[in-house]
Chain A
Amino acid sequence: EAEVAQSPRYKITEKSQAVAFWCDPISGHATLYWYRQILGQGPELLVQFQDESVVDDSQLPKDRFSAERLKGVDSTLKIQPAELGDSAMYLCASSVDRESQYFGPGTRLTVL
């Protein structure tokens, strides 16, 4: 069964450092989402791509976060510089239609 792949699974960094997360969606899924999930809360959308175009990045803290999906396939989410409050699970999801979003296992970020 096809799955969304994410790496790394865990990342520990110090504040002010740069971090990057990678996501490979299910083949053929044109829509890709990055979410942030703080412990004990539901996921919050950071950015949504349709192919290589950003559809919604209204909740992305653009002073420190950036996301790209250059060829409309895999995607990278970057944080620079990382802050203590960025500690969370970063989830990638993909979909071929609006009904079903398939999530990856996530990257758990700890900022010290």
Chain B
Amino acid sequence: QKEVEQDPGPLSVPEGAIVSLNCTYSNSAFQYFMWYRQYSRKGPELLMYTYSSGNKEDGRFTAQVDKSSKYISLFIRDSQPSDSATYLCAMRRGNNDMRFGAGTRLTVKP
């Protein structure tokens, strides 16, 4: 079993839809949780960073962490074609040791 599980999709939604992306993890030692967006042939770009359980909002993006269930989510409201990319969840135990999910490929159709 992988430490971080992420549904690879692909996920296709119409413009304006609410998108839900999810990851589960097995190691309760993970403390820091991140979501990255990766466009084709580009490096990952940090979208959201959270530490504690609960919600964190930034514009159209909301990150949710449930440590008791070992489950994290990223919600995208009013999705746009420019949101089409691969979304990677990532988590870290301490100073080092970052673990990434496999990524979910999202397409938002106009």
Report which A residues bind B (CB closer than 8 A).
4, 40-45, 48, 55-56, 91, 93, 98-106, 108
**Count, chain B residues at interface, CB 8 A:** 24
* B98 to A, closest residue via Cβ: A45
For B76, the chain A residues whose CB sits under 8 A away are none
* A95 to B, closest residue via Cβ: B46
Whether B16 is near chain A, meaning CB under 8 Å from some CB there, is: no
For A44, the chain B residues whose CB sits under 8 A away are 100
Residues of A contacting B: mostly:
loop
Shortest CB-to-CB span from A11 to chain B, Å, is: 14
For B42, the chain A residues whose CB sits under 8 A away are 105-106
A98/B46 contact (C-beta < 8 A), A42-B100, A42-B103 known: no
For A55, the chain B residues whose CB sits under 8 A away are 95-96
Report which B residues bind A (CB closer than 8 A).
4, 6, 8, 32, 36, 41-46, 49, 88, 90, 92, 95-103
Q: Can you name 22 A-B pairs with beta carbons within 8 Å?
A: A40-B8, A42-B4, A42-B100, A42-B101, A44-B100, A45-B96, A45-B98, A48-B96, A56-B96, A91-B43, A91-B44, A98-B32, A99-B32, A102-B46, A103-B44, A103-B45, A105-B41, A105-B42, A106-B41, A106-B42, A106-B43, A108-B41
